[in-house]
A and B are shown apart, each in its own frame.
Chain A
Amino acid sequence: MTGLSSQFAALVVVLPLMFAPICALLRGRTLPWAITTIVSALSFYVSIELVIAVNTGGPISYHMGGWAPPWGIEYLVDPLSSYMLLIISGISTGVLIYARDSIAQEVADKHLGLFFTAYLLGLTGMLGICITGDAFNIFVFLEVMSLASYVLIAMGEKYDRRALTAAFQYLIIGSVGATFFLIGVGLLYMMTGTLNIADIASRFSEIEDTRPARAAVAFLVIGIGIKLALFPFHVWLPNAYSYAPTIVTAFFAGTATKVSVYLLIRFIFTVFDPEFAFGIIQLKDILMPLAVLGFLSMSAVAIFQTNIKRLLAYSSVAQLGYMALGIALASEAGLTAAIVHMFNHAVVKTGLFLSVGGMFFMVGSVYLKDLAGIGKRMPITTFGFVLGGLALIGVPLTPGFISKWYLVVAALETNSNLGYALVVAIMMSSLMAVIYIWRVVEVAYFRSPPEGAEHKEAPLSLLVPCWMFILGSFYFGIDTTVNVGLAETAAAFLMGGAP
């Protein structure tokens, strides 16, 4: 690689970071939005190039400022991190196309510049976490992302003041998580004398019997678990998702928690080495029950929600449980299931939140009682929601089916009674998804719209991106060469040993 393309690994993060302050200076509805969209699209383009480069030429190591690791900061693009970059920048770009009209309605004009600044910073943080090969740098980006997300969630206060408490709650819980993470990284640094992930990984086997190393593992797993909204650390998520502006919810639902899943995978499979994590300290015994309890209880809770955004948020926590289960199965099939579900769920859930956003745009509410007969009032938007819902249930030809297939295969491969029990649990959770989606369907199609309600679709600027995600999700459910192919490569790479 020569010229600009040799700098791609840095550019993907630097671009949004550089343009973030510029957005803060701009006024009006169009300009900040346009710049943010273009920057995000550029990041997306660079991510695609990186994915291609990694899958043809192997992992790329980029030395920030020319300082060789372990002294300088290393950016490391391997199959998993490039896959994450693709998801994050892709979702971000799609959501931004939708954002113009939606956010102008939900956030005061004078805040728009700041909103997009925070958005770009959030994007920077997520991309940075996934690409950096330096443990402390991860913490920095984690904080960049988190601070931006507190701001973004609080922006929902124009419609609902509860957004402020939701943001504050997330701030407190999120800071605890970040602190735990930092303590973990600190302990690792103390024991190994390095912050470079590859270096820590190569020395980890020497220190794995020591108490500080095990404490580090505990702090890291719990810290990441809080950020990941792993049951029972999920309380912040439903509030944050319900009260944040639509596009923030859609963006975060697809990406923010996935970044934490990425961290969990990265630490378990690259830093700790699966043999230690699952063989010696039996991390599985913690992760698996939490994952199963998580998806069972959260699917059940989702059934009783009256706010659709909240319903989808609980469903998200349940889906994160599937991913955690895939990790906890500690096999290549399980890991593939977790990674592919990150992608699939990102596309599906973003599409769902965008269609709910369309309803909110027209009706001004996301409560089921206000959405009676919405299927007759906004047939196209609602049908999009139904199709997205089918994907959550895991109907064949949707990406949800593909994820479920891999997860069940992974569970059955264990060839044990535990595996069979897991299959039963997964299926029960899927069936609860039928119930919570069908509650919405029945309200949408079987109740008559309130008197005098307008029969009007959302504007095209909202409909088109929303359907882009819905149709896209079907594409990835039918032709799985991209999502499954890349996930399998990533899983094989991680199981193959440290980079």
Chain B
Amino acid sequence: MFSVETHVILALLIPLAGAIGIALANSAPNIRETVTLVTSVLLCLNVFNILPAVLNGIEPTVTLIQIMPEVALMFRVEPLGMTFACVASSLWIINSVYSIGYMRGNKEAKQTSFYVCFAIAIAATMGVAFSGNLLTLFVFYEALTLSTYPLVTHKGNADALKGGRIYLGILISTSIGLLLPAIIWVWTLTGTVDFVKGGILDGHASALITGVLLFLFMYGIGKAALMPIHRWLPAAMVAPTPVSALLHAVAVVKAGVFSVLKVVIYIFGIDFLYETGAAEWLTWVAAYTLIAASVVALTKDNLKARLAYSTVSQLAYVVLAASMATSMAVAGGALQIVMHAFGKITLFFCAGAIYTAVHKTEISDMRGLGRQMPITFIAFFIGALSIIGLPPLGGSWSKFYIMVAAAETGELYVMAVLLISSLLNIAYLLPIVARGFFYPPLGQVEERAPVGRETSDFSWSNIKEAPILCVIPPALTATACIILFFLADPIFKMIEPILTP
């Protein structure tokens, strides 16, 4: 119907137009929610309309506006960004359904501004995904930070204020203090900020400057939550759960690691980085973050906090993959963006469903809940297995590729780190499910049945699920985790061209 370039622009405009529509429908909640749903479906259709062209090896390029001489706001859709946009836009539909169930179920205030900011944040995510140069990436990266700030502080109480301070403080100070100088430095060194296959720094920067630049980029992209600048992510958990689910398990954090991959592939260049060895320190930092965040997750009793630290740890996989700078590793990192998105959003959906149904936030209070909320807990179980990386779930592939890369480069300690991390994942995720099903609910004592005379704990009358709109989304995303196991190959094929010079 339209040219591909138009679709690229529309990906930015549809959610923005949706935001305006939502604001206008302020007084009629049903119309407002319809606008949200229609917008999300339109966006998803639109994004998938770009997909065939990208699969055929075309990179649609659109110059929005020339901001400064030789520096323009520019979109160029390449396979990695395409993947990210597909994930974010399709999950937005499911998340919108969930938001409606959650926000109404919990009778939250200021719902209009919630949906408006949400739509703007999605627009910013699309901008990040399609950005054709560092400046565009930076513009939408900041827009994403600022548009999610009102969502994080949605509750407006002292906790929200404190969380918001940490959130904005870390994200803004790292991006303005480190990322922006890095971008300008790249510009003064090379005279361009465009993303070019194979990198642009080769021949312009010494090994030392490359190392410094890599440091500035990795810590400037605070959204990738590398330790010790990961604190904003747990702080962001004061937000309503739909925000934590889509933004702080998918859009925002993935924008971070996506930027890391983009910078490594298109600015530094995988080969250049591998030759200079400037990324070796990063492997260690990422490995440390991976393990340390998992250990911290073990100690958290608040479900959302545990999931947040789990996210920090899972994001480090992508950074680790980027730092190894081989095509196999980077492919694993790219797959991890997709797989983790579906797995983690399922877990957050479940956390929100539990909160909506029984208002529990602490894991120790969730004993026996699996008997009340079987669908939710089964979905949680599948999501958890995917995060851990067990077949036949999507998450197994990303870990597999990173593991292969580690074997290829002979970095045995990386393999050890990955193994330990998987064990830790099991240790902090599965007990939640086990407690849910095998323990009696809080305050009840189970009579010991003699061996061979056990009766089922399950009964229809016990079931007390969250509102239907909060239950269907996790069920859908959990199913998607299974389907993705069989879709890994097409995704890998799509990404492949950017990895081979």
Q: Which residues of A contact B (CB under 8 A)?
A: 390, 393-397, 402, 404-405, 408-409, 412-413, 423, 427-428, 430-431, 434, 438, 442, 445-446, 478-480, 484
State whether B67 touches A478 (Cβ < 8 A).
Answer: yes
Which of A394, A396, A438 is within 8 Å of B168, CB to CB?
Answer: A438
Distance, CA A116 to CA B73, complexed state (A): 44
Distance, CA A430 to CA B172, complexed state (A): 10
Distance, CA A107 to CA B67, complexed state (A): 42
Which of A394, A396, A404, A445 is within 8 Å of B135, CB to CB?
Answer: A396
- Which residues in window 442-477 of B have CB below 8 A to A? none
Known contacts A397-B139, A408-B181, A446-B153; A434/B188 CB under 8 A: no
Known contacts A396-B135, A396-B138, A480-B68; A405/B172 CB under 8 A: no
Which of A397, A408, A430, A434 is within 8 Å of B184, CB to CB?
Answer: A408
Q: Which residues of A contact B65 (CB under 8 A)?
A: 478-479
Distance, CA A397 to CA B185, complexed state (A): 19
Q: Which residues of B contact A397 (CB under 8 A)?
A: 139
Distance, CA A428 to CA B142, complexed state (A): 18
Distance, CA A304 to CA B399, complexed state (A): 50
Known: A397-B139, A434-B176, A442-B165. 4 other contacts (CB 8 A): A396-B135, A409-B184, A427-B177, A446-B156
Offer 15 A-B interface pairs, CB within 8 angstroms, sorted by A. Answer: A395-B142, A395-B146, A397-B139, A412-B185, A427-B177, A427-B178, A431-B173, A431-B176, A442-B161, A442-B165, A445-B156, A446-B153, A446-B160, A446-B161, A480-B68
Contact with A along B102-136 (1 / 0, CB 8 A): 00000000000000000000000000000000010
Q: Which of chain B's residues has its CB closest to A426's CB?
A: B181
State whether A431 touches B161 (Cβ < 8 A).
Answer: no
Q: Which residues of B contact A423 (CB under 8 A)?
A: 181
Closest chain B CB from A447 CB (angstroms):
10
Q: Which residues of B contact A428 (CB under 8 A)?
A: 177
Distance, CA A412 to CA B68, complexed state (A): 18
- Top 7 closest A-B pairs, CB basis? A396-B139, A412-B188, A427-B177, A408-B184, A446-B161, A431-B173, A423-B181
Distance, CA A397 to CA B136, complexed state (A): 10
Q: Which residues of B contact A484 (CB under 8 A)?
A: 68-69
Distance, CA A163 to CA B185, complexed state (A): 46
State whether A427 touches B181 (Cβ < 8 A).
Answer: yes
User: Is B23 interfacial (CB-CB < 8 Å)?
Assistant: no
Known contacts A402-B68, A446-B156, A478-B67; A434/B181 CB under 8 A: no
State whether B68 touches A405 (Cβ < 8 A).
Answer: yes
Q: Which residues of B contact A404 (CB under 8 A)?
A: 180
- Which residues in window 159-207 of B have CB below 8 A to A? 160-161, 165, 168-169, 172-173, 176-178, 180-181, 184-185, 187-188
Q: Which of chain A's residues has its CB closest to B185's CB?
A: A412
Closest chain A CB from B149 CB (angstroms):
9
Distance, CA A396 to CA B139, complexed state (A): 5
Distance, CA A147 to CA B153, complexed state (A): 49
Known contacts A396-B139, A480-B67; A409/B188 CB under 8 A: yes
State whether A408 touches B67 (Cβ < 8 A).
Answer: no
Distance, CA A484 to CA B168, complexed state (A): 30
Distance, CA A242 to CA B65, complexed state (A): 39
B69, B168, B177 — most chain A CB neighbours (10 Å): B177
Distance, CA A395 to CA B142, complexed state (A): 7
Q: Which of chain B's residues has its CB closest to A488's CB?
A: B69
Known contacts A412-B184, A446-B161, A480-B67; A393/B176 CB under 8 A: yes
State whether B177 touches A431 (Cβ < 8 A).
Answer: yes
Main SS of chain B's interface residues? helix
What's the A-B contact tally at a CB cutoff of 8 Å? 64
Distance, CA A442 to CA B168, complexed state (A): 12
State whether B176 touches A408 (Cβ < 8 A).
Answer: no
Distance, CA A409 to CA B67, complexed state (A): 15
State whether B172 touches A434 (Cβ < 8 A).
Answer: yes
Distance, CA A470 to CA B112, complexed state (A): 24
- Which residues in window 347-388 of B have CB below 8 A to A? none
Distance, CA A174 to CA B172, complexed state (A): 39
Distance, CA A438 to CA B188, complexed state (A): 31
Q: Which residues of B contact A408 (CB under 8 A)?
A: 180-181, 184
Q: Which residues of B contact A427 (CB under 8 A)?
A: 176-178, 180-181
Q: Which residues of A contact B168 (CB under 8 A)?
A: 434, 438
Q: Which residues of A contact B180 (CB under 8 A)?
A: 394, 404, 408, 427
Which of B67, B173, B187 is within 8 Å of A434, CB to CB?
Answer: B173
Q: Which of chain B's residues has its CB closest to A428's CB?
A: B177
Q: Which of chain A's residues has its CB closest to B138's CB?
A: A396
Q: Which of chain B's residues has its CB closest to A419's CB?
A: B188
Closest chain A CB from B380 CB (angstroms):
34
Q: Which residues of A contact B67 (CB under 8 A)?
A: 402, 478-480
Q: Which residues of A contact B165 (CB under 8 A)?
A: 438, 442
Q: Which residues of B contact A431 (CB under 8 A)?
A: 172-173, 176-177
Q: Which of chain A's residues has its CB closest to B173's CB?
A: A431
Contact with A along B134-148 (1 / 0, CB 8 A): 010011001000100
Q: Which residues of A contact B187 (CB under 8 A)?
A: 409
Q: Which residues of A contact B185 (CB under 8 A)?
A: 412
Closest chain A CB from B300 CB (angstroms):
27
Distance, CA A243 to CA B135, complexed state (A): 40
Q: Which residues of A contact B135 (CB under 8 A)?
A: 396
Distance, CA A397 to CA B146, complexed state (A): 13
B173, B176, B185 — most chain A CB neighbours (10 Å): B176
Distance, CA A446 to CA B157, complexed state (A): 7
Q: Which residues of B contact A405 (CB under 8 A)?
A: 68, 184
Distance, CA A154 to CA B169, complexed state (A): 40
Distance, CA A423 to CA B138, complexed state (A): 18
Q: Which residues of B contact A396 (CB under 8 A)?
A: 135, 138-139, 142
State whether A390 touches B177 (Cβ < 8 A).
Answer: no
B73, B172, B180 — most chain A CB neighbours (10 Å): B180
Q: Which residues of B contact A394 (CB under 8 A)?
A: 176, 180
Closest chain A CB from B215 CB (angstroms):
13
Closest chain B CB from A295 CB (angstroms):
15
Q: Which of chain A's residues has its CB closest to B178's CB?
A: A427
Closest chain A CB from B219 CB (angstroms):
13
Distance, CA A427 to CA B73, complexed state (A): 23
Distance, CA A395 to CA B69, complexed state (A): 19
Distance, CA A97 to CA B199, complexed state (A): 51
Q: Which residues of B contact A402 (CB under 8 A)?
A: 67-68
Closest chain A CB from B465 CB (angstroms):
35
Distance, CA A431 to CA B168, complexed state (A): 11
Distance, CA A256 to CA B69, complexed state (A): 30
Q: Which residues of B contact A480 (CB under 8 A)?
A: 67-68
Q: Which residues of B contact A434 (CB under 8 A)?
A: 168-169, 172-173, 176
A402, A405, A409, A484 — most chain B CB neighbours (10 Å): A405
Q: Which residues of A contact B146 (CB under 8 A)?
A: 390, 395
Distance, CA A394 to CA B165, complexed state (A): 18
Contact with A along B47-71 (1 / 0, CB 8 A): 0000000000000000001011100
Distance, CA A404 to CA B142, complexed state (A): 15
Distance, CA A428 to CA B181, complexed state (A): 12
Q: Which of chain B's residues has its CB closest to A412's CB?
A: B188
Q: Which residues of A contact B178 (CB under 8 A)?
A: 427
Closest chain B CB from A149 CB (angstroms):
34
Distance, CA A395 to CA B144, complexed state (A): 12
Closest chain B CB from A484 CB (angstroms):
6
Distance, CA A434 to CA B172, complexed state (A): 8
Distance, CA A164 to CA B180, complexed state (A): 44
Q: Which of chain B's residues has its CB closest to A404's CB?
A: B180
Contact with A along B390-417 (1 / 0, CB 8 A): 0000000000000000000000000000
Closest chain A CB from B37 CB (angstroms):
27
Q: Which of chain A's residues has its CB closest to B145's CB?
A: A395
Q: Which residues of B contact A413 (CB under 8 A)?
A: 188
Distance, CA A413 to CA B68, complexed state (A): 17
Distance, CA A295 to CA B139, complexed state (A): 25
Distance, CA A492 to CA B184, complexed state (A): 21
Distance, CA A393 to CA B171, complexed state (A): 14
Distance, CA A116 to CA B178, complexed state (A): 47
